Amino acid sequence: MNHWIIAPIVLPAIMAPILLMGARHDIVLARIFSIASTVALLGIALALTTMVSDGTILTYALGNWVAPFGIVLVADRLSVMMLVLTAALALAVLFFAIDGGDRDGRHFHALYQFQLMGINGAFLTGDFFNLFVFFEVLLIASYGLMVHGGGASRVKAGVQYVAINLVGSTLFLIAVGMIYSVTGTLNMADLAVKVPQIAAGDQALLQAGALLLLLVFCVKAALVPVHFWLPGTYANASAPVAALFAIMTKVGAYCVIRLYILAFGADAGAATWLAAPWLLPAALVTLSLGMLGVLAARRLGQLASFAVIGSMGLLLVGVALFTPVALSAALYYLLHSTLAGAVLFLIADLLARRRPGEDDALTVAPRFSQLSLLAGAFFVAAIAATGMPPLSGFIGKLLILDAALDNRQFALIWTLVLGTSLIAIIGFGRAGSTLFWKSTGQPGCFPAQAESNALALVAIGLLLAGNVGLTLFAGPLTSYLDATAEQIFSTQHYIEAVLGSTIPEGGKP
Amino acid sequence: MEFLLSTAIGLLTAGGVYLVLRARTWPVVLGLALLSYATNLFLFATGRLVLNLPPVISPEAAAYTDPLPQALVLTAIVISFGMTAVIVVMALRSYLENGSDHVDGKQEDAA
């Protein structure tokens, strides 16, 4: 058995208590450990990438308990790709945090590692009760991170965030219970085997449970009509936290991709493509509302939140088409939108620090230090986020539009995607010209910053470089993603990899 | 027994949903607690209701009850208990910082 699979969960799980107890009083030590752990996570994720790049699906039976009974971890191309994305984003955001933001409250680094543990676990698990547990791990850590730094409005938004996620967890449990009561399994691969054999009398219970589960994932992915928590949460959280949360919405999208292609996909009998009729309309409405929100936003943080909602809409449009080509396009857009969304929150925070009194409100205000640098970063980020050429957003959008051509609804999809792109360009253009362009002509100047925020700028540069990299290496990347999408759709392969290895090496059955 | 259990779950859920939709944080917390009780009972019932059957293997047993939902309920109880504690503390902090326990942080006249 390959023990590297569990390393992305075990490493932060060990590192977090060390940070909590050993490095409690020494911020420098905490930073060193936190960076080291995240770098190691990135290294492990890249090593796993080389192991699964030939199409093998690695499984890891915890405690050597055989697959449908014990809990398994599964590493295939999709989950490993998400691990790499998580570690890369976390590393860049950590650079931003250690520029000062981590000192606003206690235990930032420990919570950060717990958060990474939960996210990595959710990507790796092959068992959906275990998925619930990892969801809780990442949520508990996120409650702590959400109120990091304190302040009245942040705590208020934090209570709302906790409440909605507790309701979400309740629904998750009810859905898991319903599916278990009919199929008698919690293993995703085993579920995929059992679902086609369910009697007609039990179909209603099974499908209700599965759709309830879809609702829970849509809450995480901030899909309309359950998106209301996102703008309040992201706009009120501190910048590094909001940027890291950009991956959390993708956890919801990942679960939709995983479960509704594997267990409720082509071979699911009466429940074939269960999610498709619900997901596509919801995703299209999300895209429209998100981009309209970009136009209506009054603060840069809000604008970034709505841009995240809109990008989740477009991402799930790609998923909801449920074809390998569209999924490959959606995965490319997922990589892009995570980086582009995160960098917007970081820019908004640097802006707010430089304009005391005005914060990140979209108002014309006097000049501030490093104006042209931030303006340039915002310009690049805006090009990426709105999907204009030449950056990766454009390629992602183009791929999704191209994949939608085969769909009966393609006229509607094209109209909405192109229309919302225009709205987003207007929204971003107005925000940028108000904040940077018009401000240059103003008399007076905000007092210069004592600190240059070099590390924070490095973090922003890294994320933007990631976007440029996605653009430059779009060719090899899309061929990798095509293979990933093929692997997700060849569900038999996944089932055999998980259930076929029921007798682990070493003999004990 | 089925009737008793299902009405209990139904009542708890109805009460929970009503309380979660209230405008003050304390009823919301109570509502979440009721919802988690309802969920725990529901999870318990997913293994089917049986009387006097052991969940673990024993030589005398003629049949068994499903042990898995009991393990799930245990996990769910631990998590929901911890989460209730977290939201109580956060609601208290929010009340102290905002001077109001309205979920939107607004004063009395808004309601």
Output the 3-class SS for A432-443.
HHHHHHHHHCCC
**What is the per-residue pLDDT for B111?**
42
Q: Which residues of A fall within a CB distance of 8 Å from B36? A: 166, 170
**Domain B2-52+64-110 annotated CATH 1.10.287.3510:** yes
Domain boundaries in chain B? 2-52+64-110
Beta strands in chain B (DSSP E): none
- Give the pLDDT confidence of A215-269 residue by residue, as tens digits: 999 999 999 888 889 998 998 899 999 999 999 999 999 999 999 999 998 888 8
Interface residue of A164, A170, A206 to substitute, partner B, most B CBs within 10 Å: A170
- Give the pLDDT confidence of A401-423 residue by residue, as tens digits: 999 998 888 899 999 999 999 99
Residue of B nearest to A146 (CA): B90
**What is the per-residue pLDDT for B107?**
57
Task: Tell me whether residues B98 and A176 touch, CB distance under 8 A.
Answer: no
* Range of lowest pLDDT (A168-172, A223-227, A446-450): A446-450
How many A×B Cβ pairs under 8 Å? 92
* A322 dihedral zone (left: phi>0; alpha: psi -120 to 50; beta): left
% of chain A exceeding 70 in pLDDT: 98
What's chain A's length in residues?
509
Q: Which residues have a Cβ under 8 Å from the Cβ of A443 and sit 6 or more positions away?
A: A366
CA distance B11 to chain A (A): 15
Structure tokens at A438: 């018009």
CA distance A237 to chain B (A): 15
- Give the pLDDT confidence of A295-305 residue by residue, as tens digits: 999 999 999 99
Task: Tell me whether residues B87 and A163 touch, CB distance under 8 A.
Answer: yes
**What is the per-residue pLDDT for A305?**
94
Predicted TM-score (pTM) above 0.95? no
Q: What is d(CA A55, CA A77) in angstroms, rounded to the nearest whole number?
A: 7
Q: What is the ipTM of this complex?
A: 0.92
- Asked whether the beta carbons of A244 and A115 are under 8 A apart, the reply is yes
- Asked whether the beta carbons of A227 and A167 are under 8 A apart, the reply is no
Between helices A392-404 and A410-432, what is the axis angle to 10°? 160
- Asked whether the beta carbons of A383 and A391 are under 8 A apart, the reply is yes
